[in-house]
Chain A
Amino acid sequence: MEDFFEKLSMFTNFIWPLLLLAGAYLVGSIIEKKHFQSIRKREDGLHGIPVVSFDTMPEDWRVSSSDMVTGSIVISLDYFKRVIAGLRGLIGGRIKTYEPLLERARREALLRMTESAREQGYDAIFNVRLETSRLANAGRDGKGTAGVEMLAFGTAVKLASRIG
């Protein structure tokens, strides 16, 4: 019976957080892998639409119509990334577990923007900008992070004649 108590406290203190961590890692890395696969596939499909960050339109573009297009994604951290980043926060350095997360967010936002431009029949996007904001968690006095939003926006144009 004392065994039972020891096992119980052992479980709540060590095994449960480890299980949670392992579970979050497994599920999180599967989702991440799938997401990257989907991103690469869709990038291949959109291949050829110019998406540039010039703030003025290249002079040789002859434009018949234009509109603003946006693409945005809200993406959350998993428990594993959060814990590892928390440990990293003690000593500093690259938060390597966050880098793929933000990379996914950037490429996904750009993809959504480009897909929306193509759906509306536009041929190119210029003056493309990216913005990030952190979504605060309602709990813990807003100290926690629920996720990040990545917003991509730009001016989509329909080219009357595409030179070059």
Chain B
Amino acid sequence: MFQPHGQLTGETGATGHDTCAPSSPAVAHVLNQFLNEQGESVARALTTLSRMEQEGTLEELAGALTLLKLLKDALTDDMVIGLARRVERLAAVAADPAVSSLLERLPGALRAAESGTVSQEGAPGLTALWRQLGDPQVRRGLAYLLAVVKRLAPEAP
């Protein structure tokens, strides 16, 4: 089993004497104490780390983290503000109760249309269309669309 205690602290102490003498014994002491208390979990963490290193996962992780740095390097304040503004607008639209209620109904409506007569048999004749107007659900749908159409165009100048 991996034995971190003496080795790690010993090494730190030894280098400490050569280089930054006053603080190193103190650092060694703190490390020693820490390892005495947390030795098991440090050993486990180091084992995981060493396994990740051997498998190449560590390297991949470092590579993936480069993507974060890349984003930071590529973006500017203006771009972040612009993007956030768009996300905010989209989110506001999506959060609107009318939009979310429509979004809930839309997939079902589209599926029905895709599998319905129009997709399968082509354009219906005028009489067939006229007959469909007898269906109150079709009339409600049309009234809904007309109400949307009415408000869709910008105000006339």
Do A and B pair up? The answer is no
Q: Which B residues are closer than 8 A to A by beta carbons?
A: none
